[in-house]
Chains A and B, each alone.
Chain A
Amino acid sequence: MKFIKNHLMFILPLMAILLGIEFYLVFDRTTDSYEKGLKEGYTMLVVAKKPVTLQKLRQLNPHIATLEAIKREQIVSEVAQGVSKQSKKEILAALPYFYNVGLDSYLGTAALEKIKKDLEKDSTIKRVETFGSSYSSAYRLFAFIKFLLKVFIGFMGVVSLFLIIKQMEIWKYAHRERMQVMEIFGAPLMLRAGVLFKVAIFDAFIATLLTSAVFLYVKFVWAAQSGIDLMMQKQDDLFKMTDMAILLGVALLLVIVAVYTVVFSNKGVQE
């Protein structure tokens, strides 16, 4: 019982760190594509008196990447249902030209305003609608959640690291006499701390396996049934097999740092 408890005290905080890391990786991957979607889906509406070309708009502002005309006939037929053909023609002649304009990258509200001004300077352009506020508030909320998550994971990581080192100290205490005797007979650090390294590395493997199991479950069982489009479509991004290597690497690094910290904190020859 004590054996299991001792290992759990070590494995659980280690798992907390690994879960945090994996969660962050997954979040980053899924949200990357969501962000991309936000960017790609974004367009400005440009209303012009005469037809314009992409080149022309690019000269006005280099951020403009795509230009798509909205069919005028379609607008007229929707607006002017049941109107005579002649009237329709007149409306069509009076109707300005509408375009959806896409940008090359995500830009803040100020930059959007500048594009609007640049375009409106040109006399052929009547009006530019940026939809700036709704776009940037969605994006900002997103960035904020991401930031909170990072802070939370970072905090959890620090707390867990402390718990790991504490548990390491308990182990060191349990093995203290043996380590001291070995030291007096000139055993090098690696030999003295051998037991600690062994348990720590063993636990690092266990924690990695358990964390991977949790994520494989999330990937194959939970995500598939979640009904969240983003998760179902991007299922392959949820847990990559290479993540196991990343997690194992981090786990080993952490436990080795923990062992060294504890072994070297045993300082001073004086009694």
Chain B
Amino acid sequence: MSNVISAKNLTLAYDNGRKEIIKNASFNIKKGDFVFITGPSGSGKSTLLKSLYGQLKPKEGNLVVGGRDLANISPRQLQELRTHMGIIFQDYKLINEWTVAKNVVLPLMIAGYSLDVQETQAHRLLKHVKLSEHADKYPLELSGGEQQRVGVARALAKNPVVILADEPTGNLDDYSSNVIWDLMENACQQLETTVLVVTHKIPTIFSLPYRHFIIESKGVYEVH
């Protein structure tokens, strides 16, 4: 009942169900859990995250996120649910015609915060990811690693209930990676944010207890 995410015999597939990526996966994730997800390239890590934010409907089985059954969620409910999620994409998905500052506060804009609040928050968030001096630039003027940090700042903007991160440190050096891990640890520890992170490398310095899922041969297994 305190499960934020609950999957039961979950099967995910592309191409109208013909191409199965994940089959019969079952797992529960509680509020405040920190979960690392690893697995070979092409195993379905991004696909699993996609299903969690409702971009891919389950082919079979049950998937409940934030109390909503994602197989039968209405567009309105999905929209509402998504405002409680902080999503970090493998390919950043920044809005290129907006400044970095505006990109970062997208969730606040959607929530209807005033421009004043948006501006102060943009400043605070960019400071956290060490990008203060880039506020007025456009995403394409930044390096890959910098863009990725903009994506992280955006995901954290509204203190989401769940963070779904796809390779958030994929393009970062050790120093920047540690900045990101610190931010996520803090969110998890202080706000009881549930965090799911897809990564190919679990950080060596990590102070919180965490869980580790491996995706392999269409299955999702937890490592104990």
Interface residues of A (CB under 8 A from B): 177-178, 180-188, 191, 269-271
Q: Is the CB of A185 within 8 A of B87?
A: yes
Question: Contacts A269-B55, A269-B57, A271-B56; is A184 near B87 (CB within 8 Å)?
Answer: yes
Residues of B within 8 A of A180 (CB): 93
A239–chain B nearest beta-carbon distance, Å:
41
Question: Contacts A177-B95, A178-B95, A186-B83; is A269 near B56 (CB within 8 Å)?
Answer: yes
Residues of B within 8 A of A271 (CB): 14, 50, 55-56
Q: B173 at the A/B interface (Cβ < 8 Å)?
A: no
Query: What interface size band does chain B fall in?
Result: 20 to 34
Residues of A within 8 A of B53 (CB): 184
Which chain B residues (86-133) contact chain A, with CB distance < 8 Å? 87, 93-98, 106-107, 109-110
Q: B44 at the A/B interface (Cβ < 8 Å)?
A: no
Q: B174 at the A/B interface (Cβ < 8 Å)?
A: no
Q: Is the CB of A185 within 8 A of B83?
A: yes
Residues of B within 8 A of A184 (CB): 53, 55, 82, 87, 93
Question: Contacts A269-B56, A271-B14, A271-B55; is A187 near B97 (CB within 8 Å)?
Answer: no
Residues of B within 8 A of A191 (CB): 109-110
Q: Is the CB of A186 within 8 A of B14?
A: no
Interface-central residue, A181, A183, A191, A271, by most chain B CB under 10 Å: A181
User: Which residue of A is nearest B103, CB measured?
Assistant: A181
A206–chain B nearest beta-carbon distance, Å:
23
Q: B54 at the A/B interface (Cβ < 8 Å)?
A: yes
Q: Is the CB of A187 within 8 A of B110?
A: yes
State the CA gap A180–B85 with chains docked (Å): 15
